[in-house]
């Protein structure tokens, strides 16, 4: 996905590149698809000549479509509000569909992002029914998931929800109610869809997929994602991913991008994303600068076709592991073991494994040790007891020791566990 993909020309261009390079993509996420006011109506014909055809084109390319969502009714600061937005505001307030302050007035978001906007009360069944009645047509046209962004907007501890909870009691529960409502919406309409979220609380493992949020394109941020992935697994999140090469700032270097791609290859979710074209955290780009984190855009920018070759290699590895990932995903759901698992979850009697913070098990079979240091040509890897086979070289290693593993830019230290229950 890319935040700049806000029209059918951009989408068709991406589909052409995917086909040209035989890149095994399966899901396309469109963030800036809507009118940017109601967040349920497609933008006008200057952007999308025929949204139904766009969805068909994506499906015909063998891909599933996810659309971005946010749980607010927007306060428009910059433009003249559309009539539909004004009607939605009036109806939501009149019928009590929004979160209220302690005086019974509509609560308005106090922080910068969507400041002054209304927040839907997902504990109100009538509000939920109203909300999704406006989005049902999206499922009918073939949308199969929603990127349920936000969820952290309940900042005032004194607000009151329909179910009687105040803001302090409901703050951490709100994203669960929001994301859960979207999952129920799809299930109730017989859509085997998915939510893709970043907010959560205890029980978030029941809400499908999470991603790490927005990161800058820096090695320090890549290193943080390794810690984050292992930590969220220990917190109970089963399926997680991050933005390959970062989301914002300067374009990632080829080294950063390929190290991140290799890491993401051995995650449940392998995906790239990018900030708005004018920049979100990095504002010196002009509007015409293409900051997509796609391998073909970076290959063009750096005049380096190997970026496409190596990125596609890792994408194919991930695709070829699909049956294994599906099998391990079922195991995760049945046993509560995350797919990115701290070594202690499988080697709990191994004191050295307990202390390892920069390796993980990807399911029961693969030990993964991403390279997240700039300029590194390899790294130390601790292998618990047993026999292990290097994923790329096929060399057999005896476990119970630490080994140094050389690693070119087109590989990652991954070891197959040869015997396990």
pLDDT tier, 259 (very low <50, low <70, confident <90, very high otherwise): very high
Q: Is 88 a catalytic residue?
A: no
113-153 confidence digits (pLDDT tens): 999 999 999 999 999 999 999 999 999 999 999 999 999 99
HSE-up (13 A, CA, CB side) for residue 141? 18
pLDDT given at position 202: 87
Distance in angstroms (rounded) separating the CA atoms of residues 94 and 227: 46
Establish whether 380 is a catalytic residue.
Answer: no
pLDDT at 78 over 90: no
Q: Which parts of 61-197 fold into alpha helices (H)?
A: 83-94, 125-133, 136-140, 167-170, 174-188
Phi and psi angles of residue 406, each rounded to the nearest 5 degrees, phi first = -70, 145
Q: Please tell me which residue in 152, 255, 387, 410 is annotated as part of the active site.
A: 152
Poorest-pLDDT segment among 21-25, 136-140, 247-251, 377-381: 247-251
Which pLDDT does position 286 carry in this prediction? 64
- pLDDT category of residue 9 using cuts at 50, 70 and 90: very high
**Could you give the angle at the alpha carbon of 246 between the alpha carbons of 242 and 251, nearest 5°?**
155
State the average pLDDT over residues 347-361.
Answer: 97
**Is 149 assigned a catalytic role?**
yes
Tokens of 330: 């079922």
Closest CA to 145 of 42, 200, 207, 64: 64
Is there a common fold for 8-329 and 337-417? no
In the chain, where the domains are located: 8-329, 337-417
pLDDT at 203: 87
Give tens-digit pLDDT for 292-318.
999 999 999 999 999 999 999 999 999
Which residues have CB under 8 Å from 24's CB, separation 6+? Answer: 312, 315, 316, 318, 319
Question: Active-site residue among 35, 36, 169, 214?
Answer: 214
Residue 217 near residue 242, CB atoms below 8 Å: no
How far is residue 266 from each of residues 162, 367, 402, measured CA to CA in Å?
42, 9, 21
CB 261 within 8 A of CB 245: yes
What DSSP line would sit under 278-300, residue for residue? T-SS---S-TT------HHHHHH
Q: Predicted confidence band at 290 (pLDDT cuts at 50, 70, 90)? A: confident
Instruction: Report the pLDDT averaged over residues 66-89.
Output: 95
Residue 289 pLDDT: 79
Region 228-254: what's the mean pLDDT?
95
3-state secondary structure of 135: coil
Per-residue pLDDT band for 392 (boundaries 50, 70, 90) equals very high
Q: Which of 31, 121, 149, 156 is catalytic?
A: 149
Residue 284 pLDDT greater than 60, yes or no: no
pLDDT in tens, 12-45: 999 999 999 999 999 999 999 999 999 999 999 9
- What's the start-to-end Cα distance of the chain, in Å? 38
What tokens does 225 get? 């994602």
Are residues 195 and 145 in contact, defined by beta-carbon separation less than 8 angstroms?
yes
Query: Given this structure, which CATH class describes domain 8-329?
Result: alpha beta
d(CA 122, CA 166): 14
Residue 280 pLDDT: 67
Reference 125, options 103, 145, 87, 95; nearest CA is: 95
Q: Each residue of 177-202: pLDDT tens digit?
A: 999 999 999 999 999 999 999 999 88
Superfamily of segment(s) 337-417:
Golgi alpha-mannosidase II (2.60.40.1180)
């Amino acid at each position: 996905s890319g935040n700049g993909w806000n029209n059918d020309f951009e989408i068709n261009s991406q589909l052409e590149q995917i086909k040209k390079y035989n890149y095994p993509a399966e899901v396309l996420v469109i963030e800036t698809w809507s009118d940017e006011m109601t967040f349920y109506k497609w933008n006008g014909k200057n952007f999308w000549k025929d949204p139904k055809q766009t969805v068909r084109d994506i499906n015909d390319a063998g891909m599933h479509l996810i659309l971005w969502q946010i749980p607010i009714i927007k306060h428009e600061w910059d433009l003249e509000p559309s009539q539909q937005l004004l009607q939605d505001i009036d109806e939501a307030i009149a019928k009590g569909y929004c979160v209220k302050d302690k005086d019974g007035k509509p609560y308005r978001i106090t922080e910068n992002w969507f400041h002054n906007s209304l927040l839907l009360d997902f504990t109100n069944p009538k509000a939920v029914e109203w909300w999704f009645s406006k989005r049902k047509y999206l499922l009918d046209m073939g949308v199969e998931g929603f990127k349920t962004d936000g969820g952290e907007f309940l900042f005032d501890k004194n607000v009151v929800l329909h179910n009687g909870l105040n803001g302090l009691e409901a703050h951490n529960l709100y994203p669960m109610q929001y994301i859960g409502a979207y999952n129920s919406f799809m299930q109730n309409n017989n859509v085997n869809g998915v939510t893709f979220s970043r907010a959560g609380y205890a029980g978030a493992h029941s809400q499908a997929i999470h991603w790490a949020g927005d990161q800058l394109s820096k090695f320090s941020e890549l290193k943080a994602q390794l810690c984050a992935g292992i930590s969220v697994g220990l917190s109970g999140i089963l399926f997680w991913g991050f933005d390959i090469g970062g989301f914002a700032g300067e374009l990632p270097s080829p080294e950063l991008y390929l190290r991140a791609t290799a890491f993401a290859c051995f995650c449940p979710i392998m995906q790239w994303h990018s900030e708005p074209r004018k920049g979100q955290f990095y504002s010196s780009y002009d509007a015409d600068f293409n900051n997509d984190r796609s391998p073909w855009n970076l290959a063009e920018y750096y005049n380096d076709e190997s970026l496409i070759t190596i990125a596609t290699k890792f994408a194919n590895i991930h695709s070829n592991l699909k049956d294994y990932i599906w099998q391990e995903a079922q195991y995760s759901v049945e046993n509560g073991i995350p797919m990115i698992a701290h070594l202690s979850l499988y080697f709990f009697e191994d004191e050295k494994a307990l202390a390892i913070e920069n390796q993980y098990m990807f399911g029961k079979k693969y030990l993964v040790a991403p390279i997240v240091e700039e300029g590194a040509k390899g790294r130390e890897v601790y292998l618990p007891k047993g026999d292990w086979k290097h994923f790329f070289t096929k060399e057999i290693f005896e476990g119970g020791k630490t080994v140094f593993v050389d690693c070119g830019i087109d590989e990652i230290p991954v070891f197959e566990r040869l015997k396990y229950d």
